[in-house]
Chains A and B, each alone.
Chain A
């Protein structure tokens, strides 16, 4: 009975070591999970906003009747395969035109931004990172042109933390199904 009353230093040390290491492992696990969840958050957001932007532009291109201008220069057709940071499409005579433009770290549709600019940005400084190209098959101005566009979406804050960084490229090419050359 007397022997059981206290613990030896060795016993205490062993217990303290075990508790410390277990706590350490648990803390590391929790941190990992939390970091993983913020990584998931930003990845999800980039994927969602990127797909949304791509689908908005895609739908406009599919239903547009004509290309008015590429990179600010008026074009008659796309046999010269013009490319640049903006494209102006004619939706219809009644509805007028829509201008998609890469500028000021975003893609805008008639000056309204398509992305959530509080958290995300688009690299508009490198010309190959945000572009619109109009390609016409066989140099024939009456075949429907296909428009290729791409952009790279990244987080806005210039953070060094891995879990807050995400960057994803989006590229697609769409045929103008409603093309009616003017």
Chain B
């Protein structure tokens, strides 16, 4: 009698254990598959969104101007893009990217492209050189010098002035040293520090355009403009900042791209190539 009752529950136990094992294995496989599916969907959406954002930037670059566009693309993705002018009394050249050594960047002191609305008067302070770029001998990171060429005055008969700055003595002939005891921060541009600073010795009167060329090393460059009593003077538009947001499904990707106005060839500035 006792034996019979003990055997009656055995099948139930075996079935339950088998089912637990089978379910565990099955559910683990299922959840792995679901995770993989979700990951690959996210990956695909991310690529779609990124490429949609890039397409938005290309579209604005082709059309030009400060515009806002949005477009739904056929492949379940869309973009929204806004181009705004980059201007102000404190600017970072190349929107914060390094300015190439011996190539330089333009600073517009009048409006592109017609050289209209020239800045009447301004004193410019230029900041350059990262805090780690402090070596005067040729060991990386080399301390950059700076060459500044200014065109100003009547457009029909402009005057040209050139200044050389180099904190390393006797490396550039005839160079001014500037103030080389950084780190300096630029008011209005948080998060950037510079090792060198100088105020351009001549005030800008009816500015046209200025070229700033780093020598010996590439560097970030910032410029701030004030009037005689120290109030900020707005520099005209230097280019446009294009912000594009692409989305696909639930994924959103955002890209910022800076487009400067076409750079004047170096040959426009007489005798400006000094270190090549």
Partner-B contacts on A (CB < 8 A): 51, 137, 143-144, 146, 172-175, 177
Contact = CB atoms under 8 A, between A and B. Distances in A.
Contacts of B257: 177
A137 B259 CA distance: 19
Contacts of A146: 58, 62
B61 interface: yes
A172 B51 CA distance: 10
Contacts of A177: 61, 257, 259
Contact of A175 (B47, B51, B58): B58
A51 B65 CA distance: 32
B61 A144 contact: yes
Interface in B237-276: 257, 259
Contacts of A174: 58
B146 to A, nearest CB: 21
Interface of B: 47, 51, 58, 61-62, 257, 259
Contacts of B58: 146, 173-175
Main secondary structure of the interface of B (DSSP, over half): helix
Closest 3 CB pairs of A and B: A175-B58, A175-B61, A177-B61
Contacts of B51: 172
Contacts of B47: 51
Given A143-B62, A175-B62, A177-B259, 13 more contacts: A51-B47, A137-B62, A144-B61, A144-B62, A146-B58, A146-B62, A172-B51, A173-B58, A174-B58, A175-B58, A175-B61, A177-B61, A177-B257
A181 to B, nearest CB: 10
16 contacts: A51-B47, A137-B62, A143-B62, A144-B61, A144-B62, A146-B58, A146-B62, A172-B51, A173-B58, A174-B58, A175-B58, A175-B61, A175-B62, A177-B61, A177-B257, A177-B259
Contacts of A172: 51
A54 to B, nearest CB: 10
A113 B259 CA distance: 33
* Residue of A144, A172, A174, A175 with highest tally of chain B CB at under 10 A: A175
A143 B64 CA distance: 11
A143 B257 CA distance: 18
B67 to A, nearest CB: 16
Contacts of B259: 177
A51 B46 CA distance: 13
B96 to A, nearest CB: 17
A88 B180 CA distance: 45
A174 B54 CA distance: 9
A49 B47 CA distance: 15
A144 B47 CA distance: 25
A51 B47 CA distance: 10
A48 B47 CA distance: 12
B111 to A, nearest CB: 20
Contacts of A51: 47
* Residue of B47, B62, B257, B259 with highest tally of chain A CB at under 10 A: B62
A42 B9 CA distance: 51
Nearest to B55: A173
B107 to A, nearest CB: 19
A25 B206 CA distance: 87
Nearest to B265: A180
Contacts of B62: 137, 143-144, 146, 175
A139 to B, nearest CB: 14
B37 to A, nearest CB: 12
A73 B51 CA distance: 31
